C-alpha cells in the first residue's frame, strides 16, 4: 500500500456525506455533503480543509449517487486531491446494518455486497442507500480496496441475554429478529477515547456511553466490549430521540391499529418521524426546547423531563448491568453541547457516585473533558464523537494488514 489517504463515504437515500483524511496524522483534507440527490435542485457543499479557503456551495441538478460521487470527485480534483491519485489508499463506507454476520470491518467484494443485500429486510431504509454508494464508488475506482464499516459491528459482542427478545426463538430466528444496536462506530470510538481520557487501557474500564444526537442510544461497555445497547432490531428502541419514541409498550401499536384505525405505514411514520421530542412539543432541537423552557413553555418542559427521565433509567440499568462503572460519557450533538441535559441526567444519582461540577459542566469545548468533581467516584465525561475518523482508521488498518 502506497497511499495514505482514505475517503469516507456515508450514503443516505438522498444524500452523500464524505470526508477525505490523511492517515499519517489523521488530518482532514476535505469534507462535504451532497443533499437532495434526485430532486430538481440538489446542493453540493464542499469544504477544502487542506487548501484552506471557504466552503464552495452550488445548487445543481444531481440525478443519482453516481452523478453525486462524480461531482465530489471533481471538487476534490480542483484541490489537487483527485480520486485517481495514487495517494488514495482506500474508500471506507459506513454501512448501517451488518446483522450478526459482520462483526468487523470487511473488505468489500461481490459476496459481501450480496450479504449486505440479504440484510435489506431488517434495514429497508439504510442498506439500499449504503449499497448504492458502494456500487458507485467501485465503478469509479474498481482497482481500489473498499471497506465496509458496520454500525452494528461493535454490538455483536452482546451476550444472548441482552441481544434476544423474550419471544419464541424459532420465530425470532426465522425472521432474524434480535437486538442489533446501532451507532456502534461512535460507541466504539467514544468508549476508547474515554479510557484514554482516564489514562487507562480500554480493557481496564467500564463505561456507559450516551450518544445523544437526533437519533440517540446508550451502551454499556465492559473492558472495551459492548455488553448492552439501547437500540434493537431497528433504531426505534430505547431512549427518547429527536423524532423517535424509543421504548413503549408494543401493545400501543395494536391499539393504534385496532382502535385508532391507523395503517402499519402510518404507525411506522408516527413512531419514527413524528414522536420523541418533536411529537411531544413540536421541536426536536434541544437548543429550541431550552429556549422555550426559559420562556416558561410547559410542553417543552414536559418533553425535556420525559427525555431526561428515560436517560436516567438507562444510566441506572447499565450501572446494574456493569456492576462497577468508571465513567459515563456524553457525546453527539445534545450530549456534547447541552449542559442542562447532562446536569439533569445525573441529578440525584450521588448515591451511585455520579455528579457534575456546575462550573466544569458549563465550559464548552471540542476536546474530551471531565465535568464531574475530582471527588466523584465515577467520572462524568464529555467526549466528542468522530465517526468519520473511526471509519477511516478501521479502513486504513484493515487495508494495511491485507497488503
Q: Does residue 282 belong to the site contacting ligand ADP (CB under 6 A)? A: no
Q: Active site residue: 59, 79, 87, 151, which one?
A: 151
Q: In the complex with ligand ADP, which residue's Cβ is closer, 46 or 211? A: 211
Q: Does residue 384 belong to the site contacting ligand ADP (CB under 6 A)? A: no
Site of grid cell 461540577 = 357
In the complex, least distance from residue 225 CB atom to ligand ADP, rounded to whole angstroms: 24
Q: In the complex with ligand ADP, which residue's Cβ is closer, 175 or 287? A: 287
In the complex, least distance from residue 214 CB atom to ligand ADP, rounded to whole angstroms: 4
Among 333, 353, 368, 384, binds ligand ADP (CB under 6 A): 333
Long-range interactions of 347-350: CB distance < 8 A, separation 24+: 349/312, 349/315, 349/316
Among 92, 215, 232, 276, binds ligand ADP (CB under 6 A): 215
Instruction: Return d(Cα 182, Cα 217) in angstroms, integer.
Output: 8
Phi then psi dihedrals of residue 134, to 5 deg: -65, -45
Query: Is 151 an active-site residue?
Result: yes
Phi then psi dihedrals of residue 165, to 5 deg: -85, 155
In the complex, least distance from residue 347 CB atom to ligand ADP, rounded to whole angstroms: 18
In the complex, least distance from residue 344 CB atom to ligand ADP, rounded to whole angstroms: 13
In the complex, least distance from residue 97 CB atom to ligand ADP, rounded to whole angstroms: 17
In this structure, how many other beta carbons lie within 10 angstroms of the beta carbon of residue 124? 11
Render the burial of 323-342: b for 16+ CB within 10 Å, e for the rest: eebbbbbbbbbbbbbbbebb
Among 112, 286, 315, 328, binds ligand ADP (CB under 6 A): 286
Strand partners, 328: 208, 380
Q: Does residue 300 belong to the site contacting ligand ADP (CB under 6 A)? A: no
Q: Which three cell numbers stand for residue 358?
A: 456546575
Q: Does residue 309 belong to the site contacting ligand ADP (CB under 6 A)? A: no
Helix, strand, coil percent content, the chain, rounded in steps of 5: 40, 20, 40
In the complex, least distance from residue 331 CB atom to ligand ADP, rounded to whole angstroms: 8
Q: In the complex with ligand ADP, which residue's Cβ is closer, 83 or 328? A: 328
Among 99, 242, 279, 368, binds ligand ADP (CB under 6 A): 242
Phi then psi dihedrals of residue 229, to 5 deg: -150, 155
| Segment interacting with ligand ADP (CB under 6 A) among 120-128, 164-172, 223-231, 281-289 | 281-289
Render the burial of 229-267: b for 16+ CB within 10 Å, e for the rest: bbbbbbbbbbbbbbbbbbeeeeeebeebeeeeebeeeeb
Q: In the complex with ligand ADP, which residue's Cβ is closer, 5 or 93? A: 93
Among 4, 214, 269, 272, binds ligand ADP (CB under 6 A): 214
| Segment interacting with ligand ADP (CB under 6 A) among 172-180, 280-288, 291-299, 315-323 | 280-288
In the complex, least distance from residue 212 CB atom to ligand ADP, rounded to whole angstroms: 7
Least Cα distance to 142 among 134, 154, 130, 152 occurs for: 134
Strand partners, 9: 18, 93
Give Cα separations from 359 to 102, 208, 363, 370, 373 (angstroms): 43, 22, 7, 11, 9
Q: Does residue 285 belong to the site contacting ligand ADP (CB under 6 A)? A: yes
Q: Does residue 332 belong to the site contacting ligand ADP (CB under 6 A)? A: yes
Q: Does residue 334 belong to the site contacting ligand ADP (CB under 6 A)? A: yes
What is the total count of residues that contact ligand ADP (CB under 6 A)? 13
Binding site for ligand ADP (CB under 6 A): 213-215, 242, 284-287, 332-334, 337-338
Q: What residues are labeled active site?
A: 151
Amino acid at each position: 500500500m502506497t497511499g495514505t489517504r482514505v475517503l469516507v463515504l456515508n450514503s443516505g437515500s438522498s444524500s452523500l456525506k464524505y470526508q477525505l483524511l490523511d492517515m499519517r496524522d489523521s488530518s482532514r483534507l476535505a469534507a462535504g455533503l451532497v443533499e437532495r440527490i434526485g430532486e430538481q435542485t440538489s446542493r453540493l457543499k464542499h469544504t477544502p480543509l487542506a487548501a484552506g479557503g471557504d466552503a464552495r456551495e452550488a445548487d445543481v441538478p444531481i440525478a443519482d449517487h453516481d452523478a453525486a460521487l462524480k461531482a465530489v470527485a471533481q471538487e476534490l480534483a480542483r484541490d489537487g486531491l483527485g480520486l485517481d491519485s495514487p495517494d488514495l489508499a482506500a474508500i471506507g463506507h459506513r454501512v448501517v446494518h451488518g446483522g450478526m454476520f459482520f462483526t468487523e470491518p470487511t473488505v468489500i467484494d461481490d459476496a459481501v455486497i450480496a450479504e449486505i443485500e440479504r440484510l435489506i429486510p431488517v434495514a429497508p431504509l439504510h442498506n439500499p442507500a449504503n449499497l448504492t454508494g458502494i456500487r458507485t464508488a467501485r465503478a469509479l475506482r474498481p482497482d481500489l480496496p473498499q471497506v465496509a464499516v458496520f454500525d452494528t459491528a461493535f454490538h455483536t459482542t452482546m451476550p444472548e441475554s441482552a441481544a434476544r427478545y423474550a419471544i419464541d426463538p424459532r420465530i425470532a430466528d426465522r425472521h432474524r429478529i434480535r437486538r442489533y444496536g446501532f451507532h456502534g462506530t461512535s460507541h466504539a470510538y467514544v468508549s476508547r477515547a474515554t479510557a484514554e481520557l482516564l489514562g487507562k487501557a480500554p480493557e481496564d474500564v467500564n463505561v456507559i456511553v450516551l450518544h445523544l444526537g437526533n437519533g440517540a442510544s446508550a451502551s454499556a461497555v465492559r473492558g472495551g466490549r459492548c455488553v448492552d445497547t439501547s437500540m434493537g432490531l431497528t433504531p426505534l428502541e430505547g431512549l427518547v430521540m429527536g423524532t423517535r419514541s424509543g421504548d413503549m409498550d408494543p401493545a400501543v401499536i395494536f391499539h393504534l391499529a385496532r382502535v385508532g384505525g391507523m395503517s402499519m405505514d402510518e404507525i411506522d411514520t408516527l413512531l419514527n418521524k413524528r414522536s420523541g421530542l418533536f411529537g411531544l412539543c413540536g421541536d426536536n432541537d434541544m437548543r429550541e426546547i431550552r429556549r422555550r423552557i426559559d420562556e416558561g413553555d410547559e410542553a417543552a418542559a414536559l418533553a425535556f423531563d420525559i427525555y431526561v427521565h428515560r436517560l436516567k433509567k438507562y444510566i441506572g440499568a447499565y450501572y446494574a448491568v456493569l456492576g462497577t462503572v468508571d465513567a459515563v460519557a456524553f457525546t453527539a450533538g445534545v450530549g456534547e453541547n447541552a449542559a442542562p441535559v447532562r446536569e439533569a441526567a445525573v441529578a440525584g444519582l450521588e448515591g451511585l457516585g455520579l455528579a457534575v461540577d456546575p462550573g466544569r459542566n458549563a465550559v464548552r469545548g471540542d476536546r474530551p473533558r471531565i465535568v464531574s468533581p475530582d471527588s466523584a467516584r465515577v467520572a462524568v465525561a464529555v467526549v466528542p464523537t468522530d465517526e468519520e475518523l473511526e471509519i477511516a482508521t478501521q479502513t486504513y488498518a484493515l487495508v494495511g494488514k491485507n497488503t
